[in-house]
Amino acid sequence: MKFFELLEQQAGKEPWSAPLMLRVFGTAGLRKFELPVRWMHASGALEINAQEKEAAAELGRSQALVATAPPETVARRLLDEFYTDLHAKVRAGKMKPKSMRLSLRPAVSLLERADAGWQRTPDQAVVAELLDATPGQRAALSTFLGFLKAKHGIELRASVVGRRRRSGKREALGKQLAALAKEQPRPSDFESRWLYTALAYFHERSSAQAKSLLKEGALTEMDVGYELVVEDAKYWLPKPPGAPTGVQAVE
């Protein structure tokens, strides 16, 4: 009875077809209501082929990827919009359900890497970090980057940043830290510059990300360093040689 009640509520005047069944119940739901589904098959009232089942399963996996981002977050809003765009292409026959899932996966990874709290849009540095870690995602990520540009005016390039270039950037940050450690006397902005550079160097963050984290986080001075807490994430930063006691406000 539950099966037919749900079907009647969802279908309205729409014919009871295989696409309707898969849209209402999904493959998992049809397995749950095995007996009435098997009866409909036997009576000739319903026939769902393997291709239709696989397509429905892929859509379910895509929806699960979108649900990775918590509700009411910037990332979830973007993923919901991206899913709607992709799903329209699937229904129009311009994209396969599997391709939809493959496009959503790197989008989720990019938004999660941009901010553990899912509240920031990605920048070029985050794109470079993701592609450096997973260069095989470049083509799939391009679909999401195209969406960001078309819908929100956010222009990012799916260019792969080689490890040599990344290593060179980190080496430059290391030299900046060394130069800062030698500064005498130390000006009023010394601590802020040290923290920005140390966060970028030790935690591989862009300059903009480092400044944002320091602005939003809670900074605590410890014996040999600092602990920066941003939501549930913690970042340890060393003190410069000869650092005075007491934490100054980071502007």
Q: What is the three-class DSSP state of 119? A: coil
> What b/e readout covers 220-229, taking b as 16+ CB neighbours within 10 angstroms?
eeeeebbebe
Tell me the sheet residues that pair with 237.
226
Element (H, E) at 101: helix 97-114
With tokens 């920066």, the residue in question is 228
Q: What is the three-class DSSP state of 128? A: helix
Element (H, E) at 141: helix 138-152
Task: Compute the Cα dihedral for 148, 212, 232, 239 and give only its sign.
Answer: positive
Q: Which domain holds residue 171?
A: 164-238
Both tokens assigned to 16: 């009871």
How many other β-carbons are positioned within 10 Å of the β-carbon of residue 12? 7
* Residue 63 pLDDT: 87
Contact (Cβ atoms closer than 8 angstroms) between residue 197 and residue 180: yes
- How many residues comprise the chain? 251
DSSP 188: T
In a domain, 55, yes or no: no
Tell me the sheet residues that pair with 227.
220, 236
In a domain, 170, yes or no: yes
With tokens 């999660």, the residue in question is 112
In a domain, 91, yes or no: no
Average pLDDT over residues 103-109: 93
- Domain count across the chain: 1
* Residue 200 pLDDT: 86
* Residue 46 pLDDT: 64
* Residue 249 pLDDT: 39
Q: What is the pTM of this model?
A: 0.51
Element (H, E) at 215: helix 207-216
What are the tens digits of pLDDT across the range 131-154?
A: 877 777 888 899 999 999 999 998
Element (H, E) at 85: helix 74-91
What are the tens digits of pLDDT across the range 25-37?
A: 766 676 777 787 6
| Residue at 201: amino acid letter | Y
In a domain, 201, yes or no: yes
| Residue at 249: amino acid letter | A
